[in-house]
Structure 1
Amino acid sequence: MDKQLKYRTRHLNIEFSQIIETEAINMVFQPIVNLATGKILGYEALCRGPKESPLHLPDELFKTARLSNKVAALDELARKKAIEAFIPFLKDYKLFINMTPLAMSNYDFFASSTFECLEDNNVNTSNLVIEITEQCPIDLVENYNNIIKDIKSLGIKVALDDVGSGYSGLKTILKVMPDYLKLDMDLTHNIHKDTLKENLIKGLIHMSNYCNMKIIVEGIECKEELETLISLGAYGGQGYFLQRPTDSPEDISLECKEIFKTYLSKLNL
């Protein structure tokens, strides 16, 4: 490692420690839409560093967290901040908050600041969804089964993120038995031009219905992708075309509302 890289790494580590110490992260919220109705069913909370910081974007922020061996601290802080920021909306919408398997080792949910935040704010846990990301195999996490059992015992739902990529495969679905399957954006990209992708997602939707799970498709970035996924019967959708992440929860775009309006009017003919 050359001197310039060493200096940059050291500087980022110092800045990251200050961010954690002062809880200087920001949460943004992206809507998740019921594709049968066009109504927002919930929002995913996404973590950002301070706006003027080189650690503003999540990739750099979590990369520094891994290098500092502080993924668990960042993960826990993000959940706490997300719940606190979303409390005014929890009565009407679900809140999807992330948990990485890297942060689950030796994790005691009932002793966590997440649980403390739920208790302090008298949160309706039925509208909370813990979204397990795919950064490492969940079966490498000691006692993960009991952790998920503890989470579900409070009425909190569980989602499995990035299904179809990385470690979020069929084996993980069987182990976690999530309430929601969030399909990776690679399966969404140009789905209107790819019959194989259409048939694959159609099969996953059929499987999820049989197993009492709900499919949420990520990465919707154009009108044609949205229309195709509506026609396939996917439960939920998320992506830049519907709405980008914003500082506070916002509605979907007017263009998307018109697409849903047209779709629903055809159903009523």
Structure 2
Amino acid sequence: MLAVAVCEEKDLMPPLEDLHAELQDILANGRLRPMFQPILDLKEGTVHGFEGLIRGPSDSVLHSPLNLFRAARRLGMAFKLEAACCQTLVRAYAESGLGQRLFLNVSADSLHRSLVRNLIHPGPLRALGLEPSQVVIELTEGQPFTDYVALKDAVISLKSMGFAVAIDDLGEGFSSLRLWSEVGPNYVKIDKHFIGGVSADPVKHQFLRSLRDIARKTGAHVVAEGVELEADMVVVRDLELDFVQGYFTGRPHPVPVPMVSPEVLRVCREKRLGGEELTWISHTRVTASKLVQEIPSESPDTSIWQVNERFSRAPDLQSIPIVQEGLPVGLINRHVFMDTMARPFMRELYGKKGCEGLMERNILVVDQGTSLHELSRMVVESDPRHILHGFILTYQGRYVGMGSGHDLMREITQMQIHAARYANPLTGLPGNVPISERLDELIEQGQPFTVCYCDLDHFKPYNDVYGFRKGDEVIHWTGKLLERSVDLGLDFVGHVGGDDFILIFRSPDALRRCHATLEAFEAGRNRFFDPGDLAEGGYWTEDRKGSMAFHPLLSLSIGVVQVLPGVFPSHHEISSAASLAKKEAKRIDGNSLFLERRSKAVPSYFQRSS
């Protein structure tokens, strides 16, 4: 790769005349070398298909695909080279006799060229022993492309013949997102820039989650490209993306190899421990008003000429809201509008007519007081065009401005980054800082609420006997159990650290929920013990002094503090009271709850023995 980079930077490629002769010889004598890289199905742990790749002759400066295609573009032979690549890969794959899918790279421009179109056809494929259903046409953007109408027609034709379609390098720019919206691909391949290092980058993590949610809504499968590290593979697996491709799962090989290594299978089949969603994001008070762009609206009878002039004067304007008597009724998107106006005689015939006929009526209208968390859910669950075209923001039903999918993703990402900074890495739940912030927020609002300090009893001896891995499974399971005990629209779950958790309830039935949690813990904990230990009700291990001691099975203790307005000045006093209540609960054998009311009343005791 270093040699290629030097050639690119210093332009040390041979003269054009030599390159022309070399490339002509490669094409005339069939000297292109096919390579196949596996694409792994993460759910099944099997090879779903292979991406076809090309290398030049090993003794040529055009061995590197970077140099090969660069030379072809300079010589005006790019389409001829692409046709030869398709032919080479299809023949080699047909000879393998495999039934998996072949992902075939084709540039958007090449779909209109007869050299390539004649190869991507059921007849020639079946003559070689392949069915169209085995081939995925992977659209690449080697050159800028603007004729989306023609491309959409070509994709419709491909799908009608039985081919599937993929978009390559999703995320490189706005054009790839628009391509997704326009052609409705079967697969989207996320650019390797967003995959490499995702295990340590919360921005990339949020980007992948957002794309996954959009893909689920549109029915597309997601392929994560460029996975080279196990840590990144684990993130991709835990996000439940569909497919993965990269050096970690398999390098390109001259012959397609449908085998999966034991190491990769282990990662696919490992139980997921880490939490994915940062659920306390839903409690932030950041609203859609932060996204308002005060874009002047137009009325439905504004002429098409006037809309065209406005887009011409403002190159960065993506959409124009259409408002009638203060109420939003539609919008006009720049790209849809320009594509429509590019048709023959559109300007002459319709230029003076009102724009109502060209506006989109399927719009997303949102009150500016909607939380960003709720807005992101609405956008993901609605028409995917709203991410690209934008949505309309209102106050008391009347138009106040536009919001864009780009700005929404940016704000949500920033919130996720802030949340991830304080998240517990094992459960994904918020740690001490967001717990304190939530308590102070409720105190400031003057609302009554209930705080529960949850702690696992006898956890250290369990770790000593069963090991840290099993201990992590118990903590992760406990976190999920506590999450299920709350109403995430009202309540809050935090992970102080180790085996300590915090519940903050605004739900009026907090005690009922706590008792139900204790019952669920008792019913579910048996999975983490050997049958012999269950029968004995515990196990023997060394205590802190080195002596053998019998330790009971794990149990859960909950210390409860009911907080009334004006009783506690800050989260510090609440934390102290909850800690004392937890200690009292742990004095009780088995799964237990201790309730302390900060008043003149005597504390109450509640117990559920194991």
* Fold-level similarity (TM above 0.5): yes
Tell me which of 49, 59, 80 is aligned to 1:42.
49
Which amino acid is 1:149 matched to? I
Which amino acid is 2:156 matched to? K
Question: Do 2:79 and 2:115's aligned partners in 1 also have CA atoms closer than 8 Å?
Answer: no
Secondary structure at the residue paired with 2:130? coil
Tell me which of 231, 242, 248 is aligned to 2:238.
231
Which amino acid is 1:245 matched to? P
Secondary structure at the residue paired with 2:146? helix
1:114-149 Cα shifts (integer Å, max 9, x gaps): 435314224211111000012234324783222222
Equivalent runs, 1:53-72 vs 2, <5 Å: 53-72=60-79
Equivalent runs, 1:101-250 vs 2, <5 Å: 101-107=108-114, 112-115=118-121, 117-140=124-147, 143-166=150-173, 168-250=175-257
Secondary structure at the residue paired with 1:172? helix
Tell me which of 7, 14, 19 is aligned to 1:12.
19
Secondary structure at the residue paired with 1:160? strand
Secondary structure at the residue paired with 1:113? coil
1:74-97 Cα shifts (integer Å, max 9, x gaps): 111111111111115565201000
Number of aligned residue pairs: 262
Which amino acid is 1:127 matched to? Q
Q: Which runs of 5+ in 1 are unaligned?
A: none
Q: What's 2:59 paired with?
A: 52
Cα-Cα RMSD: 2.4
Aligned partners of 2:250 and 2:175: how far apart in 1? 25
Aligned partners of 2:33 and 2:86: how far apart in 1? 11
Q: CA deviation at 1:256?
A: 1.2
Question: Do 2:49 and 2:102's aligned partners in 1 also have CA atoms closer than 8 Å?
Answer: yes
Considering Cα pairs closer than 8 Å and 6+ residues apart, tell me whether 1 or 2 has the greater RCO: 1
Secondary structure at the residue paired with 1:50? coil
Structure 2 CA distance for partners of 1:260 and 1:6, relative to 1, 3 Å = closer
Secondary structure at the residue paired with 1:138? coil
Structure 2 CA distance for partners of 1:217 and 1:15, relative to 1, 3 Å = same
Which amino acid is 2:253 matched to? T
Identity %: 26
1:134-169 Cα shifts (integer Å, max 9, x gaps): 223432478322222221111100000000004643
Structure 2 CA distance for partners of 1:108 and 1:144, relative to 1, 3 Å = farther
Question: Do 1:91 and 1:124's aligned partners in 2 also have CA atoms closer than 8 Å?
Answer: no
1:190-216 Cα shifts (integer Å, max 9, x gaps): 000011211111111111011010100
Q: What's 1:257 paired with?
A: 265
Q: What's 2:91 paired with?
A: 84
Q: CA deviation at 1:37?
A: 2.0
> Which stretch shifts more, 245-254 or 230-239?
245-254
Structure 2 CA distance for partners of 1:81 and 1:117, relative to 1, 3 Å = farther
Please state if 1:23 is matched with 2:35.
Answer: no
Q: CA deviation at 1:44?
A: 0.2
Question: Do 1:79 and 1:97's aligned partners in 2 also have CA atoms closer than 8 Å?
Answer: yes
Which amino acid is 1:255 matched to? E
Q: What's 2:409 paired with?
A: none
Structure 2 CA distance for partners of 1:160 and 1:245, relative to 1, 3 Å = same
Q: What's 2:275 paired with?
A: none
Q: Which runs of 5+ in 2 are unaligned?
A: 1-10, 273-472, 474-527, 529-610
Secondary structure at the residue paired with 2:27? helix
Larger Rg: 2
Secondary structure at the residue paired with 2:99? coil
Q: CA deviation at 1:106?
A: 4.2
Structure 2 CA distance for partners of 1:209 and 1:156, relative to 1, 3 Å = same
> Which stretch shifts more, 72-81 or 83-92?
83-92
